[in-house]
Amino acid sequence: MKLFLDSANLTEIREAMAWGGIDGVTTNPSLVAREQRDFFPLLKEICETVHGPVSMETTCRDAAGMVDEGRVFAKLHPNIVVKCPLTKEGLSATRRLTGEGIRVNVTLCFSAAQALLAAKAGAYIVSPFVGRLDDISSDGMELIREIRTIYDNYHYATQILVASVRHPRHVVEAARLGADIATLPFGVLEALVRHPLTEIGLERFLKDWEQLSATSGRKGL
């Protein structure tokens, strides 16, 4: 399963690339706005930093506007994947952009019916938001299970990108269900690494080594 970072923050992106082995980045208007930077230079810097797909969301509500924006984004860098919302206008824009060879990540997906339409529109990626479903006492991972079944039944090439991830269990469950990608906030990526028994075990190894060094009078190897 590919892991993407859900962030427009270059410090997080660079650190995640150093040890997290991230395969790409997803952004959205809220994440970009949080950086308080000029949009195009930021987007270009992210694309030049990440060795994989970078999703950038259109900000229009109409298909024509999304198509115009998507064409501009796509010209910025070959890594760009254009994000369009799962609306009628977004699906129309997806068909048009895909027809021009521009990859589209259809986002804000909350049902299997929507995901079916995204695949039929030729989406490169579909982004079901599992955390926001869990937030309203629905079952985000059940949606992933449904989409995986439907896409496998009809051999749709659209990749399932599990988004709105809240904790490591979402990542593990996504991998168990056969999702293609999970996109994680930086804090969740860090949480993937952490385990108390690892910390305890490391401290014990190093303490025992230090005692050996103390008794033998030899520092280090």
Going by C-alpha positions, the residue among 158, 198, 196 that lies closest to residue 180 is 158
Interaction mask 69-108, ligand G3P, x per CB under 6 A: ----------------------------------------
Which of 37, 95, 132, 167 contacts ligand G3P by CB under 6 A? 132
Our finding on whether 183 is near ligand G3P (CB under 6 A) is yes
Minimum CB separation of residue 118 from ligand G3P in Å reads: 15
Which of 116, 143, 163, 188 contacts ligand G3P by CB under 6 A? 163
Q: How far apart are CA 129 and CA 110, in angstroms?
A: 6
Q: How far apart are CA 80 and CA 214, in angstroms?
A: 56
Minimum CB separation of residue 132 from ligand G3P in Å reads: 5
Minimum CB separation of residue 131 from ligand G3P in Å reads: 5
Our finding on whether 164 is near ligand G3P (CB under 6 A) is yes
Q: Would you call 120 a catalytic residue per the annotation?
A: no
Piece of 40-48, 112-120, 129-137, 147-155 that binds ligand G3P (CB under 6 A) = 129-137
First to last CA, the chain: 39
Which of 129, 151, 156, 186 contacts ligand G3P by CB under 6 A? 129
Considering beta carbons, is residue 6 or 173 the nearer one to ligand G3P?
6
Tokens at 156, concatenated: 């749709």
Which of 26, 58, 94, 159 contacts ligand G3P by CB under 6 A? 26
- Residue tagged active-site, from 44, 75, 83, 207: 83
Minimum CB separation of residue 173 from ligand G3P in Å reads: 16
Contact residues for ligand G3P, defined by CB under 6 A: 6, 26, 28, 129, 131-132, 163-164, 183
Catalytic residue positions? 83
